[in-house]
Amino acid sequence: QDIALGPYRHFMQKEIFEQPRALADTLQGVEGIVPELFDDHGVRSRAAWRVFAETDRVLILACGTSYYAGCVARYWLESIARVPTTVEIASEYRYRDSVPDARTLVVAISQSGETADTLAALRHAQSLGMGNTLAICNVATSALVRECELAYVTRAGVEIGVASTKAFTTQLAALFLLTLALAQAKGRLSAEREARHLRAMRHLPVALQAVLALEPAIIRWAEDFATKEHALFLGRGPHYPIALEGALKLKEISYIHAEGYPAGELKHGPLALVTNAMPVVTVAPHDALLEKLKSNMQEVRARGGVLYVLADADTHIGSDDGVHVIRMPEHYGPLSPILHVVPLQLLAYHTACARGTDVDKPRNLAKSVTVE
């Protein structure tokens, strides 16, 4: 056994369990919400506060799991900072004939900072006259950080497992800070809301520990999943990209075909696939869409589908015939996606272990894709 693994079987498992520490490190030194958090400390001339004040739109560019982090951030940026936001897959954006807008802040998200498509998409945006650029990246010395005006370097530490875990949750923390900093620069963040959001962020490592303690229950789910060939992941709002990320994790490392869907779209297609051979994972936070989600769950049950529900403690969703519930802590407000993704990482991990795949180095995939 690799000494660096400590008590863990794989790097992916170790990295999942490192998330409380990675988040605490990423938020270290954040005393209050100020745009200067995104400065690169004088290396270049542009100050974040000036860039943020003149930002009318945000364009997020990324690939893979980093793209899903951007998709979650769109909900935050629009609802909290009130800044219109688009999120684009880098390999699509770079070849698309899009309409540039100089008052756009381009945010490139990448764990490695070396993904060829993300770098090319950034350069494409720059060539269209969008000079206000921000890297959210885990590697301070990467090309992405060098080429952007502003940067927020996450402190996840080295990530070895090909399937990204702790890089994703630290990207989300950085994107939430960005949301608050933009809101601040635009005069849209009251002192009371700033204090409330900061309190919630600082409490994240403790809240994550409670979620990691659910591992034994997730191992029982994984035993069921290991015998299946298809799975569906449902979510709504900012938990829809979490469903997409859960599906991506499962297919990457267990080779089970998985799809993430916004729960409201179920009736427009995937419901035709539902049988007891395809487990349906449902991300069920206690938010404004809970009642809608509950009726989507009934649609699945009515077709003989079997539900695996990650339900916040206060949702009153109980286990039943064909309904397996894992109870999450109480609803965590806008930061809830950071908690809900963790059981999905563990589900993919333990399902892959049960199937005996090469968890840290799944077939055909690379940690960092530096060619097109």
Residues found near ligand G6P in the complex (CB under 6 A): 63-66, 110-112, 115, 118, 162-164, 365, 367-369
- Paired with 284 in beta bridges are 311
A 10 A CB-CB count for 141 gives 9
Name the minimum Å distance from CB 258 to ligand G6P: 15
The three-point CA angle 159-63-150 to 5° equals 80
| Alpha-carbon gap, residue 199 to 57, rounded angstroms | 27
How would you classify residue 271: left for phi > 0, otherwise alpha for psi between -120 and 50, otherwise beta?
alpha
Name the minimum Å distance from CB 118 to ligand G6P: 5
Q: Which is nearer to ligand G6P, 72 or 189 (CB)?
A: 72
Rg (CA), the chain: 20
Name the minimum Å distance from CB 351 to ligand G6P: 17
Residue whose C-beta lies closest to ligand G6P: 64
Q: Which is nearer to ligand G6P, 165 or 282 (CB)?
A: 165
| Alpha-carbon gap, residue 194 to 41, rounded angstroms | 23
Name the minimum Å distance from CB 349 to ligand G6P: 14
Name the minimum Å distance from CB 354 to ligand G6P: 21
| Alpha-carbon gap, residue 125 to 277, rounded angstroms | 45
Residue 367 annotated as catalytic? yes
Q: Which is nearer to ligand G6P, 104 or 112 (CB)?
A: 112
Q: Which is nearer to ligand G6P, 162 or 339 (CB)?
A: 162
- Paired with 62 in beta bridges are 89
Catalytic residue among 186, 294, 361, 367: 367
8-state DSSP, 239: G
| Alpha-carbon gap, residue 138 to 273, rounded angstroms | 39
Q: Which is nearer to ligand G6P, 65 or 132 (CB)?
A: 65
Hey, which residues are catalytic here? 367
